[in-house]
Amino acid sequence: MGRKLIGIDLDHTTLNETGTVSNRTREVLQAAQAEGHIISIITGRPTRLSTDIYDEIGLKSPMINFNGALGIVPRTYWQDEYSYQINHEIAFDMLEQAADLGIDTVVAENQDDVWGKEISDHRPKDSLFFPRDEDGKKMLDRFSLQTDVNAILLHSANPRHQAQIKRFLLDRYGEDQVNVKTWGGDSPVLEVAPAGISKDTGLAILQQSYQINADDIYAFGDEMNDLEMIEFATHGIVMANGNPELKAIANDVTPFTNEEDGLARYLENLLKLA
In this structure, the answer to whether residues 69 and 201 fall within a common structural domain is: yes
| Size (the chain), residues | 274
Q: Report DSSP state, residue 3.
A: P
In this structure, the answer to whether residues 25 and 79 fall within a common structural domain is: yes
Q: Of 199, 193, 188, 124, whose CA–CA distance to 152 is shortest? A: 193
Q: Which 3 state secondary structure label does DSSP give 113? A: coil
Which residues, 6+ apart, have CB-to-CB distance to 75 below 8 Å?
A: none
Which residues, 6+ apart, have CB-to-CB distance to 180 below 8 Å?
A: 165, 166, 169, 170, 190, 191, 192, 193
User: Structure pTM?
Assistant: 0.94
Half-sphere exposure of 88 (CA within 13 A, CB side): 18
In this structure, the answer to whether residues 109 and 182 fall within a common structural domain is: yes
In this structure, the answer to whether residues 13 and 76 fall within a common structural domain is: yes
In this structure, the answer to whether residues 72 and 202 fall within a common structural domain is: yes
**Total domain count for the chain?**
2
**pLDDT at residue number 34:** 97
Integer angstrom CA distances of residue 13 from 9, 181, 186, 243: 6, 20, 18, 12
Q: Does residue 235 contact residue 214 with C-beta atoms inside 8 Å? A: no
In this structure, the answer to whether residues 143 and 217 fall within a common structural domain is: no
Q: Of 97, 159, 149, 94, whose CA–CA distance to 124 is shortest? A: 159
Q: Please identify, among 194, 210, 229, the residue that sits at the C-terminal boundary of a domain.
A: 194
In this structure, the answer to whether residues 114 and 134 fall within a common structural domain is: yes
Q: What is the DSSP string of 120-138?
A: SS---S-TTTS--GGGTPE
Integer angstrom CA distances of residue 263 from 11, 125, 161, 232, 241: 12, 28, 36, 19, 11
Q: What is the DSSP string of 59-96?
A: --S-EEEGGGTEEEBTTB--TT-EE--B-THHHHHHHH
In this structure, the answer to whether residues 165 and 119 fall within a common structural domain is: yes
**pLDDT at residue number 129:** 77
The rounded distance, in Å, linking the Cα atoms of 130 and 43 is 17
In this structure, the answer to whether residues 147 and 228 fall within a common structural domain is: no
In this structure, the answer to whether residues 67 and 112 fall within a common structural domain is: no
pLDDT tens, the chain, 274 aa long: 689 999 999 999 999 999 999 999 999 999 999 999 999 999 999 999 999 999 999 999 999 999 999 999 999 999 999 999 999 999 999 999 998 898 989 999 999 999 999 887 666 665 667 777 656 778 999 999 999 999 999 988 777 788 889 999 999 999 999 999 877 555 678 899 999 999 999 999 999 999 999 999 999 999 999 999 999 999 999 999 999 999 999 999 999 999 999 999 999 999 999 6
Q: Please identify, among 179, 194, 209, the residue that sits at the C-terminal boundary of a domain.
A: 194
Provide the phi-psi class of 75: left if phi over 0, else alpha when psi is between -120 and 50, else beta.
left
**pLDDT at residue number 160:** 76
Domain that holds residue 64: 5-83+197-271
**pLDDT at residue number 131:** 73
**pLDDT at residue number 181:** 85
**pLDDT at residue number 219:** 98
In this structure, the answer to whether residues 63 and 118 fall within a common structural domain is: no
Q: Give residue 217's identity as a one-letter amino acid code.
A: I
**pLDDT at residue number 182:** 78
In this structure, the answer to whether residues 74 and 202 fall within a common structural domain is: yes
Which residues, 6+ apart, have CB-to-CB distance to 244 below 8 Å?
A: none
Q: Report DSSP state, residue 14.
A: I
CA 256 to centroid of chain Cα atoms: 22
Residue 19, domain CATH: 3.40.50.1000
Residue 184, domain CATH: 3.30.1240.10
Q: Please identify, among 164, 194, 224, the residue that sits at the C-terminal boundary of a domain.
A: 194
